[in-house]
Structure 1
Amino acid sequence: MHKLNRIAISVGLAMGLASASAVAEAADRSWRMATPWSGGPWLERDAQLYADRVNQLTGGSIEIEVFPGGTLGGALRVTNTVKAGVAQISHNYINYDYGTDPTAALLAGHSSGLTPEEFMLWMYEGGGVELYEEFRRDVFDVVAFPCAILGTEIFLHSNKKVETLEDFQGLRLRTSGAWAELASRLGASTVVMAGGDIYSALERGVIDAAEWGSPEMNRPTGFQEVAQYVIIPGVHQSGGFLECQVNEDTWNELSEEEQEILRLAGKLTVFETWLASSFADLDAYQELVDGPNEIVHLDQSFIDTIYEETEKWEDEYAADNEWFARVLESQRGFKDAMSRWPEYRLPMGGIER
């Protein structure tokens, strides 16, 4: 599906055509991009970056206008907005469609232990991106591919100190998706609520704890102001992806070269967002370390229990869902191959200098 030589030729031509002839043909297509995001880096950086790269690589023949969540349809129903043609394209989180098919959790990222870097390797060299596009077309009738990376999240912003499985029992936890199921199985009392409601719920004691995103994503929420403990590592979401979806009719109107360029723009912005978000996380996490919050590390026995429960959960869904089984088999095969990695590669950030 991904013909690298043709991509290289297409990109070279696209860049070269950013000249008078390309300008004359600019904005042949004006697309609307639906998103779930009301603001922040996912809207203002990641979605806009993809739109800019498409415009650049097509020599201006496709212009994409990015819309905040809720302006083109339901913020959590972006897939329907694209499928119906209200928007030609989206910037989305596949896990919002978890209720339709839990395979979405494997492709979005869950408590599998795959880091962002491992996820990228599996996606682009281990067959993940082909499975991703085939799954979206088969089950949801949209064309989709990764176009941004998700960093490792903070496990909890919490008003209750959590280190062990025992501490987790009865915790009133705001979460969503696959982790809502797994956390319940591990003894938490889970609550699903919109991101905009989390701050006040923590402040008023409606919930004990919440998970949301990486240090960069959590910084502007102010959760650290109303929750004493910052609990790490984010084993519930060790890495993952955001996606771009294209309406099938819109996609079929494109030439094969244009389709390849849209995919390439996604791959490029995955790399660029990995650079930007990883670097921003360093500064955001340092603020937490230097601030008044207490940093709490999960006990290894609790982490091991999370991974054991995750495997049981995966096996249960794989037994009844062919797509889930296909993606899980691919990811587990990749993880087996990666088991040799520590033998010859140094850990990132783990060497004393």
Structure 2
Amino acid sequence: MAATVAGFMTVPFAANAADTYRFKMATGWAGGPLMDIGAKAFAERIDQLSDGRIKVQVFPGGALGNALKVSETVKNGVAELGHTWMGYDWGKDPSVVLFGGYAGSFDSERMLHWLYEAGGAEMQRQYRDEVFGVVSIPLFIRTAEVFLHSRKPVRTLEDIKGLKLRTAGAWLDMAKDLGAAPVTTAGGDVFPMLERGVIDATEWGTLWEDISPGFHKVAKYLIIPGVHQPTAPFELVINKDVWAKLSDKDKKLMETAARLTTLDSWLRIGEEDAKALDFYRKAGNEIIELDPEVQYKTRDIADKWADEVAKSNKWFEKVLVDQRAFEKRWANANQYRNVKVRPTAVQ
């Protein structure tokens, strides 16, 4: 059974000394960048910022509960902390995908600005508290994902029809509108399913992140760009009773550690992604860019889906309206932020 919160907290060693804590963190990951520069990086940073007072033991997906239900594991007190993608909870409330990214989202740079400068993180905190009963803080963010590692070439709308693909979140529904046959499963099951041909294709992470699970070894075709997931913010979930016992100073330390880890993950993934295409070419993969009609169709489906959900879901409507206002405010950003340069051939 779940241990009590008090069982994971040590008694202060002096009357005026700061509290020390030992927390368990459930995750949805067996390993890879999500573990190394996400969950474990956060644990290292909070240890450093707290001068060793706050220590976090990170557990791989499935060790403390269902890897797709980390927020539930944390709410129930099996773990004090969790690292997950909020979109896994979309079956309870689809609003989660607006915070976790979906086919209608803006890119990662804009998402970071919305979260940290335009009130998105505060809205996320309030939403998770009211609907799921946990504390939520952004932790880790991806750039656009790979659309598919596929055993079959995929370029057109016709190629997607009947394709058995692994995915999660709102894309399970939207992919059906493109004619695909999607299923979902935890990350650790994806490689063997792809290897055995149980699925034709999978999406998971960015170019660099997908090197670690080795999908390229059993799927010849790499399909880009990730129109299903232009960005993917992840989150730190905290048990509400645990959060309530923290001092204001320690709450701020947790928020700062998560923010620094998030920004570092974005910078690291951006640089590593730039190197990854060459890796896949040398590994013998064929890189295919989706036809424009697929990319346009995907955004049309996403916008229509969001409009429909917003009609009957107040939280979804609230977040969607806020994000679209932000997107409108940034509509002309490229004009004043990007300087045109003469195109050069890429070798």
Q: Report if TM-score (shorter chain) is over 0.5.
A: yes
1:257 has 2:249 as partner: yes
**How far off its partner does 1:159 sit?**
2.1
Partners of 1:198 and 1:210 within 8 A in 2? yes
Deviation at 1:34, TM superposition (A): 1.3
Aligned counterpart, 2:164: 172
For residues 267 and 236 of structure 1, the distance between their equivalents in structure 2, rounded to whole angstroms, comes to: 25
Separation of aligned partners in 1, 2:282 and 2:341: 19
Which of 57, 65, 75 is 1:73 aligned to?
A: 65
Q: How does 1:236-275 map to 2 (within 5 A)?
A: 236-275=228-267
2:10 counterpart residue number: none
What is the alpha-carbon distance in structure 2 between the residues aligned to residue 219 and residue 159 of structure 1? 16
Q: Which residue of 2 aligns with 1:340?
A: 332
Question: Which one-letter code corresponds to 2:237 in the other structure?
Answer: Q
Q: Which runs of 5+ in 1 are unaligned?
A: 1-20
Which consecutive aligned stretches of 4+ in structure 1 deviate over 4 angstroms post-superposition? 24-27, 347-353
1:104-125 CA-partner distances (Å, limit 9, x unpaired): 1111111124211111011111
2:184 corresponds in structure 1 to 192
Equivalent residues in 2 for 1:292-331 (5 A)? 292-331=284-323
Name the aligned partner's letter for residue 311 of structure 1: D
Partners of 1:114 and 1:94 in 2: how far apart?
A: 17
Is the contact between residue 30 and residue 187 of structure 2 (CA under 8 Å) also seen in structure 1?
no
Unaligned regions of 5+ residues in structure 2, if any? Answer: 1-12
Q: How does 1:40-119 map to 2 (within 5 A)?
A: 40-119=32-111
Q: What is the aligned length?
A: 332
Conserved in 1, the CA contact under 8 Å of 2:67 and 2:186?
Answer: no
One-letter identity of the residue aligned with 1:173: L
- Code of the residue aligned with 1:164 in structure 2: it is T
**Aligned-pair Cα RMSD in Å:** 2.2
* Larger relative helix fraction: 1
In structure 2, the partner of 1:215 is 207
For the structure 1 residues 279 and 192, does the alpha-carbon distance in structure 2 shift closer, same or farther, using more than 3 Å as the test? same
The alpha-carbon deviation at position 27 of structure 1 amounts to 7.0
The worse-fitting range, judged by mean Cα deviation, of 299-308 and 67-76 is: 67-76
Determine the structure 2 residue equivalent to 1:234: 226
Three-state SS of the structure 2 residue aligned to 1:65 is strand
Quote the Cα distance in structure 1 between the aligned partners of 2:69 and 2:300: 32
Identity, % of aligned positions: 42
What CA distance in whole angstroms lies between the structure 2 residues aligned with 1:155 and 1:125? 29
Q: Deviations over 1:304-337 (max 9, x none)?
A: 1110110000011101111111111111111111
Alignment of 1:4-43 (within 5 A): 28-43=20-35
Q: Which amino acid aligns with 2:186?
A: A
Stretch deviating more after TM superposition (294-303 or 217-226)? 217-226
